[in-house]
Structure 1
Amino acid sequence: MATEDERGTTKVLVITPDSLGKRMAGPAIRAWEMATVLSDVADVRLVSTVAADLESTRFPVGFADEATLRGHVAWADVVVFQGHVLSSFPWIKRAPVIIVADIYDPMHLEQLEQTVGMPEDDRLRAILETAEVLNDQIERADFMMCASEKQRDFWLGQLAAVYRVNPFTYGDDPSLRRLLSVVPFGIQDQPPVQRTHGIKGVVPGIAETDKVILWGGGIYNWFDPITLIEAVELLSARHDDVRLFFLGAGHPNRHVPKMEMVTKARDLADAKGLAGTSVFFHDDWVPYNERADFLLDADLGASTHFEHLETAFSFRTRILDYLWASLPIVTTDGDTFAGLVREHGLGRVVPPVDAAALADALESVLYDEAESAAITERVREFAETMRWRKVLAPLVEFVKDPHPAPDSPLTLLTPRTRIIADLQTRIRGMESSTSWRVTLPIRLVKDVISPSAGRSRRRRGAGGTR
């Protein structure tokens, strides 16, 4: 830990639209860990726009309403934020601060799944508004962070669409890594320590000798707990000691709606007679500092999902906890972690929606002691590459030398940004013409649904669930 004299003089404000407390979801965990690591090199404050009930000896932590947030932003040299913060408080875009956008969660892809079943107009509005929330961020940010190289390619396309790939950003760095870098979710530097059992011998129906498959997070609509429950049913016919434990059937952030998939998973377990015998749901969200009690009671970590766009560009943060606890992993193919599991021998990868293949993979890892031990050792070695202090290195380096992007509005009076502003104005003027609307009907749809929105009316949401 750096002393006050060793820390830099840069003032960094980290803002999350997620709840900071004993029970935290992915966005809040990420914000907390960023603040912790950055406090070695900068003067840091961490605030939540929803709720905060945490303390740190390294930096102030608190809840910020709009008035309080204005004071924090006025104090800061650099603002690091997630989710809907910029759209909920649009005046931040005009503040004379350097802005870092944490876009590790492609929320607009989540919305494609989360809004299934909504009325058509509401669904289209939600998806378009979320895309515009993200466009707001990447148009203004001086530095951006995403979760993987594949995700970075995706974001570069969106950056190009909003004119951020231009001669000035390219001239500053032809790789554009000074503008957009890969900063994945990480794991704690300290190893997990179990203070008491969280599952085995504690949950009625789960003995200390049972084999526990852990679902280590929320049950969201873009996941596939259904196939996993079906696989456990098949496996239970061969082994009477297999248990599936869903760790997060609820959510600590009141702004995250209950997902339909939670109900479907519970109903299926009930219908098959597995609930309370082979399949178990933990209704509460486990406190962040107590999750090791549950992780270290598991024999395997599972992550199953469907084959769709959200999967392709996702980064399953729950798997980081599996790595932290040295758990073998069984996962569905198609996402970034499936490639890592396959490449580094961290477990088994199975096709989507294939209960038989999934049951076989679970069986081989749970009941082949030699294979399980070898996988555990490889997981332990790979986990060292994902420590928070390693993965956050690009952000730390930026904060050590913070600078506006070469096309930033902070330098709006310079000739280069006047050129960009003029081009943007002329192009957006074309959007209002009849011919432009004919060639790009999605703009017409957006105008009809939200004619005055532009980027002024935004929902104040949690900004993702990862």
Structure 2
Amino acid sequence: MTRVLVVTSDPIGPKMAGPAIRSWNIALILSENHDVRLMTTSLLDAQDAPFDQYLIPPGRHRAFAKLERWAEVIVFQGHAMSMFKSLRASKKLLVADIYDPMHVEQLEQARDLPFDEYKQVVADRTELLNEQMLRADFLMCASDRQRLFYLGQLAALGRLNPLTYADEPDLKRLLTIVPFGLPSDAPVHQRQVLKGVVPGIGVDDKVIIWGGGLYSWFDPLTLIRAIGVLAARRGNVRLFFQGTKHPGIAEMPIVEESRALVRELGLEKHVFFNETWVPYDERQNYLMEADVGVSTHGFHLETTLAFRTRILDYLWTGLPMVVSKGDSFAQLIKREDLGIAVQPENVEALASALEKTLFNEKFAAAARENIVRIDQAFRWEKVLEPLVNYVNDPWPAPDRQLIARESVVRIRLVKHYGVKHNADRARHYLRAGGVRAVAGKVGERMRARSRSVAPAEQAPPADEASRAETDASVADQ
């Protein structure tokens, strides 16, 4: 049995988004045969689970050091390595979950910032990933495309060397593919939430659902225009944006741009925005009342490397899909006849694809049958097999000592805590979402700090001794 610490920067609780959902399921699967602890750096509303849960905010180095000393393997994602000195210096076996190419994501997300700030944000994310990729013993990405991309980055960092090549010529013992997964249990519709419940959406209406959040790298505007075209022919079409308020991300300008376009086109009776974030355990209620799942984006690099986790929810609930071409899921949808993939930013093609999927019952039924045929390949217990195999018999990277001595790059460490970082983030949220976004983030930080004084109250450690040790270490900060 291996002692495993899983670290995420996303909020853990009933309303979880992609990174937290992934970390939660990693902890869940690994806890079947190992001693696992799950830690978040932001917000924690502890849930019933076969593993302990901790909240340790950025900069609480002594508190994190207790967990680092306990662990034999540490699985982390996001900004964790920049937040804790003991993780950066750890001699434990480190697994970097780099399924989110955040430097590429910021090229799109931060492009509206002043140029110097934009450049710095992208540079910070690049350095953050460089540090993780230099130090990790084992790395996980989400797709074949990502793996090829990251192999190039690893080569630039000196990780493609005689030692790692001798260990395994395809380097899968260094960098493997672990996609996002699906729950093992079939979805159960527990209560009516959309049809006949949301004012303006009738029980017989055809509902197109936009699962997940609404972010700047997506293209909801083309979709809204396509709804305008389709609604002129089919009056019972409804589009529902499932999430606009992400639990860990400030609302982006694209949300208000989308609302403004709906008003401009007079589509208030056809397009609806959910003003909250749907709890993780209730999302199937919305998805199972929908008729089509949709995801649209533009032409950019983020699309090429993206792994749209919302598509997996569509697979889980058997929803035929209409998506933009360009990412790996669009290829899957086209190859396996799970729906229709259309050229990005083509309003007429999108409207026609939605109409066919909504109103051609034979086509939709065939898509649903095909989804049932392939969705087993995406179950969490299946996709996490490479990580499970690693934790069952973990190994250090063969070039660990070589990298420590001969790194070809010098990493400029970027603190993701402290006064300067907080001021920088406040400016970012002010530009991205206005005063309300800043106020919301301040509130979250205050709640996190108050909760971090006694994490054992939210998720007790494994025994009384470790509880006392952890509480004392956090209270020291």
- Pick the TM interval, shorter chain: 0.7 to 0.9
Q: 2:336 aligns to what?
A: 344
Alpha carbons 2:64, 2:84 under 8 Å: kept: no
Cα distance in 2, alignment partners of residues 117 and 14 from structure 1: 34
Match of 1:455 among 407, 413, 423: 413
Deviations 1:40-64 (A, max 9, x none): 1211011111111122341111212
Deviates more, 1:214-223 or 1:52-61: 52-61
Misfit runs of 4+, over 6 Å: 459-462
Q: 2:429 aligns to what?
A: none
* Cα RMSD, aligned residues only: 1.5
Kindly indicate whether residue 59 of structure 2 is the aligned counterpart of residue 64 of structure 1: no
Give SS of 2:374's match. helix
Q: 1:402 aligns to what?
A: 394
Cα distance in 2, alignment partners of residues 48 and 152 from structure 1: 26
Give SS of 2:38's match. strand
Kindly indicate whether residue 250 of structure 2 is the aligned counterpart of residue 251 of structure 1: no
Q: 1:138 aligns to what?
A: 133
Deviations 1:288-319 (A, max 9, x none): 00111111110000000001000000000000
Q: State the percentage of identical aligned residues.
A: 48
Letter in 2 for 1:204: P
Kindly indicate whether residue 251 of structure 2 is the aligned counterpart of residue 284 of structure 1: no
Kindly indicate whether residue 50 of structure 2 is the aligned counterpart of residue 50 of structure 1: no
Cα distance in 2, alignment partners of residues 86 and 457 from structure 1: 10
Alpha carbons 1:90, 1:456 under 8 Å: kept: no
Letter in 1 for 2:56: A
Query: What does 1:8-19 align with in structure 2 at a 5 Å threshold?
Result: 9-19=1-11
Match of 2:298 among 306, 314, 317: 306
Match of 2:346 among 342, 354, 358: 354
Deviations 1:200-251 (A, max 9, x none): 1110000111100000011110000000000011000010110000000111
Q: Shift of residue 369 of structure 1? A: 0.6
Q: Shift of residue 456 of structure 1? A: 4.1
Give SS of 2:251's match. coil
Alpha carbons 1:13, 1:79 under 8 Å: kept: yes
Task: Name stretches of at least 5 consecutive residues in structure 2 with no aligned partner.
Answer: 426-477
Match of 1:237 among 221, 232, 235: 232
Deviations 1:377-412 (A, max 9, x none): 10121111100000000000000011110112xxx3
Q: 1:200 aligns to what?
A: 195
Alpha carbons 2:8, 2:39 under 8 Å: kept: yes
Alpha carbons 1:38, 1:396 under 8 Å: kept: yes
Cα distance in 2, alignment partners of residues 340 and 267 from structure 1: 33
Q: 1:5 aligns to what?
A: none
Deviations 1:339-377 (A, max 9, x none): 000111110010010010000000001000111111011
Letter in 2 for 1:264: E
Kindly indicate whether residue 213 of structure 2 is the aligned counterpart of residue 215 of structure 1: no
Task: Name stretches of at least 5 consecutive residues in structure 1 with no aligned partner.
Answer: 1-8, 432-452
* 1:34–1:268 distance in 2 versus 1, CA, 3 Å: same
Cα distance in 2, alignment partners of residues 353 and 421 from structure 1: 47
Query: What does 1:297-446 align with in structure 2 at a 5 Å threshold?
Result: 297-408=289-400, 412=401, 417=402, 420-424=403-407
Give SS of 2:39's match. strand
Q: 1:174 aligns to what?
A: 169
Alpha carbons 1:133, 1:458 under 8 Å: kept: no
Letter in 1 for 2:412: G
Alpha carbons 2:304, 2:328 under 8 Å: kept: yes
Q: Shift of residue 271 of structure 1? A: 1.1
Deviates more, 1:23-32 or 1:69-78: 69-78
Deviates more, 1:113-122 or 1:310-319: 113-122
Deviates more, 1:89-98 or 1:45-54: 89-98
How many residues of Structure 1 are paired with residues of Structure 2 in the alignment? 417
Alpha carbons 1:232, 1:278 under 8 Å: kept: yes
* 1:423–1:61 distance in 2 versus 1, CA, 3 Å: closer
Letter in 1 for 2:174: L
Alpha carbons 2:243, 2:277 under 8 Å: kept: yes
